[in-house]
Amino acid sequence: MTVPEELLRLAAAQDGLVTRRQALSSGMTPASIRHVLGPGRRWQRLARGVYATFTGALGLRHQTRAALLHAGPSAMVTGGHACRAYGMRYVSSDAPLVVLVPWTTQPGPLRFALMRRVRKPPTPRIVGGFPVAPPERSVLDACVGARSLRTVRALLCEAVQTGLTTPERLAAELAGAQWDAARLARRALDDVRAGCRSAPECELRDVVAASSVIEEPAWNRPLHDTGGRPLIPDACWHEARVVVEIDSAEWHRLGDLVERTEQRRARYAASGWVVVPVSPRRLREEPAVVLAEIEAAVLAGRRRRAG
């Protein structure tokens, strides 16, 4: 049985996949479909009414296409896989493939994808050839089921830091949410609105909040050195001329990044700023010690400025 040329072209545009309805519309009969799926098969069934026009191994792209074809024309990818499509890095490697579908549709279950029915589907974007939920919806859907505040903070901070979305759009999407991890998302969003742009900065904010002698700093607020060049510290107590920089091993340890860190701190020193370096590990393992060091630096800075 020769597969119609029209169907082959459609399959090529759909990563080698077609639906039963598409096959029938192109001129194939139910018997011919059974034939290509039968003994010595040339096709394979991926879901009810969705076929791959090849018999080789399936990749994530095939599974995503199959889930969308199975769910219908209004479906879109969301959650962790959508976040990866947007280029985000801090996404769990075991994030499930999640597809949003209108409430009025009831696609059957799939072994490789979750179907999530929603009453008001957002307007999708085309990313990598697939309809994908907007970044703020995708990020928050990636947080559903999360148990770690650090994970949620990392996702929200990255989405804002990379310019994919804004705190305002996240807040609008989160309004009224009642899923279990929504409280974690709201707490992370409060950190983002305060100006934190990474999970360690959010943890530093937790540490500083325990102080009774220093107030909350300004987060990621631009300063300028003696030459007028910008400096953007993670946290800043302006009246004490003290900044805190979180030394992530990933960012500060290798190559010319070490020299760039040294040069930046020399600019702080030349401009009269004291830098307190803190590692993410110390924030987690010895927060009281870190807080005492920051408090001492800020109080000493205030005394210098007063004298």
- For residue 253, what pLDDT is reported? 47
Please state the rounded mean pLDDT for residues 271-280: 96
Residue 77 above 90 pLDDT?
yes
- For residue 45, what pLDDT is reported? 95
Distance, in Å, from the CA atom of 271 to the CA atom of 264, rounded to the nearest integer, reads: 11
Q: For the chain, what's the residue count?
A: 307
Residue 148 above 90 pLDDT?
yes
Beta strands in the chain (DSSP E): 17-19, 44-47, 50-52, 76-78, 98-102, 114-118, 125-127, 130-132, 218-219, 223-224, 230-231, 235-237, 242-246, 274-278
Domain 199-306 = CATH 3.40.960.10: yes
Distance, in Å, from the CA atom of 196 to the CA atom of 161, rounded to the nearest integer, reads: 9
- For residue 291, what pLDDT is reported? 98
pTM as predicted: 0.88
- Measure the CA angle with vertex 273, ends 272 and 274; round to 5°: 125
- For residue 288, what pLDDT is reported? 98
> How confident is residue 249, by pLDDT bands cut at 50, 70 and 90?
low
Tens digits of per-residue pLDDT, 165-175?
A: 999 999 999 99
- For residue 248, what pLDDT is reported? 74
- For residue 251, what pLDDT is reported? 44
Give the Cβ contact number of residue 266 at 10 Å.
12
Tens digits of per-residue pLDDT, 48-59?
A: 999 999 998 999
Cβ-in-10-Å burial (0-12, 13-18, 19+) of 102 comes to middle
> How confident is residue 297, by pLDDT bands cut at 50, 70 and 90?
very high
- For residue 299, what pLDDT is reported? 98
One-letter amino acid at 297 equals: A
> CB of 83 within 8 A of CB of 155?
yes
SS (H, E, C) 241-306: CEEEEECCHHHHCCCCHHHHHHHHHHHHHHCCCEEEEECHHHHHHCHHHHHHHHHHHHHHHHHHHH
Average pLDDT for the chain: 94
**How many helices (H) and strands (E) would you count in the chain?**
14, 14
Tens digits of per-residue pLDDT, 90-114?
A: 999 899 999 999 999 989 889 999 9
Residue 252 above 50 pLDDT?
no
Residue 26 above 80 pLDDT?
yes
Distance, in Å, from the CA atom of 277 to the CA atom of 6, rounded to the nearest integer, reads: 63
58 phi, psi to nearest 5 deg: -100, 140
What are residue 47's DSSP bridge partners?
A: 50
Please state the rounded mean pLDDT for residues 134-154: 96
For residues 150 and 1, the model is more confident at 150
For the chain, give every domain's residue range. Answer: 5-57, 62-194, 199-306
- For residue 208, what pLDDT is reported? 98
- For residue 41, what pLDDT is reported? 85
Distances in Å between the alpha carbon of 21 and those of 7, 27, 190, 297?
Answer: 11, 10, 48, 70
Return left, alpha or beta for 282; rule: phi > 0 is left, psi -120 to 50 is alpha, else beta: alpha
For residues 16 and 176, the model is more confident at 16
> CB of 267 within 8 A of CB of 232?
no
List the structure tokens of 261: 């860190």
